[in-house]
């Protein structure tokens, strides 16, 4: 067993490594909560910033972080594994070995791909952020982008499991004390110590602070370019007074873009038996409201909810939104008694949790949960 010690990972390099680990997992966890989408996207920006740093650091950073110091030769990769199996207490390399070179390279680029598909999905599906302009023409691709975004995450997670197993094998089988290398910066290997220069430390620190600043801007500043929605509040009272007046008497106003055309026509045809109520609308009034609902139905909207609800309802002409699988799935984590609580009363009272629901806004950043009176 060798007793050499080499300083291989600079403080900034180690810091970036752990910041990347933390932000990646925080990003993963927040992805399960729709109301945390803004945080999820802001964390995604942080991860993206750290990955970009890795690329630039590989050009301007210290010796062992440089891409030019990586070993991508496939024959060395084979040799690396042969040696690993044959010689338990072999001498290891100070910088990236062929396996970790490939790992770092692939993780960086798949990570960047994952972040990019996330930003595009945020634009296409939610109409939010710098790619919100894509929503208009490409909203029907929302399922596709969601799938590849999720797929790339799970590829990354598999790679991380692989990476951690490799480190643990080094630690406990080869006894190279690999875990501590990313903590102290020292590796039990032969090589020359790195000597980070002032300029490198200055720009590295400046960049890291910049990533924190961009993250804070995205998360804390309302209506910022990374988060801003292309959808604005709709003043239904100004657009169609009768619709607003007649349809918000017993429950909150339901934006026309949440249901497809055929559902609205059916609902209006059955107005004398509307959930055991008779709406008693005169023909003129009813025709005018129907016309307005049809003109602004889900077919004419590029919103996520419009697309997903009408995709499910299709021609079945159903119109109880809270009965759709889409609705049930999104709200499955909400305990039943919350819908019966004084604050909500019943599940059709969307406005109890969706603050600007009656202005047509369903965005995650407008969800108040748990609901307040
Ligand atoms: C008790 C509170 C509550 C009520 C009432 C409620 N919601 Fe929600 N809704 C939520 C929460 C919380 C989420 C985020 C769920 C998650 O964790 O993913 C959500 C998410 C949604 C989403 C997805 C938002 C997005 O950005 O993709 C839609 C669409 C939605 N609700 C529609 C409705 C409609 C329509 C109604 C009324 C029929 C309604 N909700 C009633 C709490 C509520
Ligand atoms: C006389 C009272 C009354 C009026 C007026 C009324 N509704 Fe309703 N509506 C109900 C009831 C009751 C329900 C069942 C859910 C509930 O209890 O809130 C309901 C449910 C709905 C739902 C399904 C909500 C869900 O949970 O997905 C839609 C859509 C709807 N109404 C549309 C309209 C429209 C459009 C108008 C105006 C033309 C209208 N309603 C006027 C009483 C009314």
292 Cβ contact partners less than 8 Å away, ≥ 6 residues apart: 239, 240, 243, 256
Neighbouring C-alpha atoms within 13 Å toward the C-beta of 7: 8
Instruction: Confirm or reject: Cβ of 93 under 6 Å from ligand 2.
Output: no
Instruction: Confirm or reject: Cβ of 348 under 6 Å from ligand 2.
Output: yes
For residue 49, pLDDT beyond 90: yes
d(CA 21, CA 282): 63
pLDDT of residue 2: 55
Band (pLDDT 50/70/90 cuts) for residue 289 is very high
d(CA 8, CA 252): 62
pLDDT of residue 302: 97
Instruction: Tell me which residue has tokens 């620190």.
Output: 205
Ligand 2 centroid to residue 358 C-alpha, Å: 13
Instruction: Tell me which residue has tokens 């059709």.
Output: 348
Please tell me the CATH code under which domain 6-220 is placed: 1.20.950.20
Ligand 2 centroid to residue 273 C-alpha, Å: 11
Residues of the chain with CATH 1.20.950.20: 6-220
For residue range 241-272, what is the model confidence (pLDDT) as tens digits?
999 999 999 999 999 999 999 999 999 999 99
Ligand 2 centroid to residue 84 C-alpha, Å: 69
Band (pLDDT 50/70/90 cuts) for residue 148 is very high
Instruction: Confirm or reject: Cβ of 289 under 6 Å from ligand 2.
Output: yes
The three-class DSSP label of residue 349 is: coil
Ligand 2 centroid to residue 143 C-alpha, Å: 30
The three-class DSSP label of residue 190 is: strand
For residue 1, pLDDT beyond 80: no
Q: What is the CA radius of gyration of the chain?
A: 28
Instruction: Confirm or reject: Cβ of 87 under 6 Å from ligand 2.
Output: no
d(CA 298, CA 182): 52
In the numeric block, which tokens belong to residue 65?
């972080």
């Amino acid at each position: 067993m060798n007793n050499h010690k080499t300083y291989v990972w600079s403080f900034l390099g180690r810091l970036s490594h752990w910041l990347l680990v933390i932000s990646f997992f925080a990003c993963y966890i927040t992805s399960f909560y729709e109301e945390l989408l803004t945080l999820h996207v802001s964390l995604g920006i942080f991860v993206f910033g750290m990955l970009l740093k890795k690329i630039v650091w590989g050009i301007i950073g210290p010796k062992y972080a440089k891409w030019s110091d990586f070993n991508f030769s496939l024959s060395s990769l084979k040799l690396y594994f042969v040696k690993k199996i044959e010689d338990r207490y072999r001498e290891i390399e100070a910088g990236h070995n062929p396996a970790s070179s490939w790992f770092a390279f692939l993780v960086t680029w798949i990570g960047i791909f994952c972040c990019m598909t996330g930003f595009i999905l945020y634009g296409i599906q939610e109409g939010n952020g710098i790619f919100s302009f894509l929503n208009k023409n490409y909203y029907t691709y929302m399922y596709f982008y969601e799938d590849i975004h999720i797929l790339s995450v799970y590829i990354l997670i598999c790679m991380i499991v692989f990476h951690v197993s490799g480190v643990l094998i080094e630690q406990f089988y080869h006894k190279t004390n690999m875990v501590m290398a990313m903590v102290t910066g020292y590796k039990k290997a032969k090589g020359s110590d790195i000597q980070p220069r002032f300029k490198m430390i200055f720009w590295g620190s400046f960049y890291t602070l910049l990533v924190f600043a961009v993250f804070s801007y995205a998360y804390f500043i309302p209506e910022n370019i990374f988060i801003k929605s292309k959808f604005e509040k709709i003043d239904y009272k100004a657009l169609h007074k009768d619709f607003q007046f007649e349809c918000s008497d017993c429950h909150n106003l339901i934006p026309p873009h949440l249901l497809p055309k055929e559902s609205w026509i059916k609902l209006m045809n059955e107005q004398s038996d509307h959930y055991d109520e008779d709406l008693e609308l005169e023909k003129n009034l009813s025709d005018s409201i129907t016309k307005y609902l049809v003109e602004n139905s889900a077919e004419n909207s590029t919103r996520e909810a419009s697309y997903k609800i009408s995709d499910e309802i299709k021609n079945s002409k159903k119109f109880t939104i809270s009965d759709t699988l889409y609705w049930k799935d999104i709200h499955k984590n909400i305990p039943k008694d919350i819908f019966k609580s004084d604050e909500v009363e019943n599940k059709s009272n969307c406005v109890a949790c969706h603050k600007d629901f009656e202005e047509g806004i369903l965005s995650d950043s407008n969800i108040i949960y748990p609901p307040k009176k």
